Amino acid sequence: MRRLPPLHALRAFEAAARHLHFGHAAAELHLTPTAISHQIRQLEAILGVKLFIRHPRPVRLTREGEMLFPVLNRSLDQIAAAIATVSSEDAGRPLSVSVTMAFASRWLMPRLAQLREETGIELIVNADDRPAIFQRDNIDLAIRYANDPSSEGNWTVLFADRLVPMCSPRLLEEIDVPFDPEHLSDWRLIHYDWKQKSAGSPTWKNWLTRINGRGVAPPIAQVFSEEIHALDAAIAGLGVVLASEIVAADDLRKGHLIKLSEHSLDGQTFWAVFQEESTRKKDILCIIDWMRNADRDEGCP
């Protein structure tokens, strides 16, 4: 007979090791940090080894903790997948999809009815820009915007992206100077704060650097915290936004926005992220294929 520690202690260790934070593990498991600490100490007593270095903070895994964590993490995922496999409800339930807020609002929502009709798959859509944690968030598929894979799961490229200057046709009629670096101060520029701060963030300064090598920050007329609000402001004629061609695709196609220049910044990549062992892998791959070919006529086999 296998002699295993209590499951609640193993789950507490796995969550704490994944987050490297007892408080975050407690929130995920709906426990108190004290309860998490108690369960981990119980597991350490059973195993006869320390699993965490608690001081100085932040906590770190010991050598034994580093050996145990990946095996336990993989095993809990496999247990969850096996339970889903034998559950009669899993095959028919809607697919839970976590997508970035701008992609959800501008790209997915206008296509959601068509996606459901052509694939026969119902989606539960969660708008979230945080790194995807499948077990915590109970999701099947995540769409994320990033340069490189950065968290758990199988990352597959969905779309490459460019960022180009856009404005409403009305604004273009109002301003009679060309849109170029020499006349940029005559245009009202819209900026949105990029959550993923990096040297390559889509700022007007970086756009100017790409064009003429002189990265002097131009005056900004309006700042937003969200990309979708910056797009709405541009459509309303409040200024020019440096925006994603993927996110703004429908607004460009319908004439709500027009490109002012083909000078662009390389955007990040839209990734489809899922767990390789998911029992819904066939449906997940179907959704990914549909998104890549959103104008096709046939559904999934």
Residue 126: what are its φ and ψ, rounded to 5°? -115, 120
Distance of CA 101 to the CA centre of its chain: 9
Helix 33-47 and helix 22-29, axial crossing angle in degrees, nearest 10: 100
Going by C-beta distance under 8 Å and a sequence separation of 6 or more, which residues neighbour residue 176?
none
Distance, CA of 19 to CA of 35 (rounded, Å) = 16
- Considering only CA atoms, which of 157, 177, 158, 159 is closest in space to residue 167? 177
Distance, CA of 211 to CA of 180 (rounded, Å) = 9
- Counted residue by residue, the chain has a size of 301
Burial (CB count <10 Å: 0-12, 13-18, 19+), residue 100:
buried
Please give the pLDDT value at position 295.
56
- Considering only CA atoms, which of 62, 136, 56, 129 is closest in space to residue 99? 129
Tokens representing residue 128 in the block: 């979230």
Q: Which amino acid is at 2?
A: R
Angle at 233 between CA 227 and CA 234, to 5 degrees: 90
If residue 211 lies in a helix (H) or strand (E), which one and from where to where? helix 204-212
From residue 212, how far is each of 93, 170, 187, 208 by CA, in Å? 53, 28, 18, 6
- Quick one: DSSP state of residue 107? I
Specify whether the CB–CB gap between 68 and 113 falls below 8 A: no
Please give the pLDDT value at position 213.
72
Please give the pLDDT value at position 299.
45
Sign of CA dihedral 253, 254, 259, 265: negative
First to last CA, the chain: 45
Tokens representing residue 76 in the block: 């809990």
Q: What is the pLDDT along the chain (301 residues), one digit of tens a residue?
A: 678 899 999 999 999 999 999 998 998 898 999 999 999 999 999 999 999 998 877 899 999 999 999 999 888 888 877 776 666 455 568 999 999 999 999 999 999 999 999 999 999 999 988 877 777 678 899 999 988 887 778 999 999 999 999 999 999 999 888 888 888 888 999 999 877 666 567 788 888 888 877 767 788 889 998 999 999 999 999 999 999 999 999 999 999 999 999 899 998 999 999 988 888 899 999 999 999 998 554 445 4
Specify whether the CB–CB gap between 61 and 69 falls below 8 A: yes
Specify whether the CB–CB gap between 231 and 107 falls below 8 A: no
3-class secondary structure, 165: strand
Strands 162-167 and 154-159: unpaired
Specify whether the CB–CB gap between 29 and 36 falls below 8 A: yes
Domains of the chain: 7-86 (1.10.10.10), 95-159+269-292 (3.40.190.10), 162-266 (3.40.190.10)
- Quick one: DSSP state of residue 182? G
If residue 38 lies in a helix (H) or strand (E), which one and from where to where? helix 33-47
Tokens representing residue 173 in the block: 């009629």
Q: Which amino acid is at 149?
A: P
Please give the pLDDT value at position 301.
46
Q: Which amino acid is at 184?
A: L
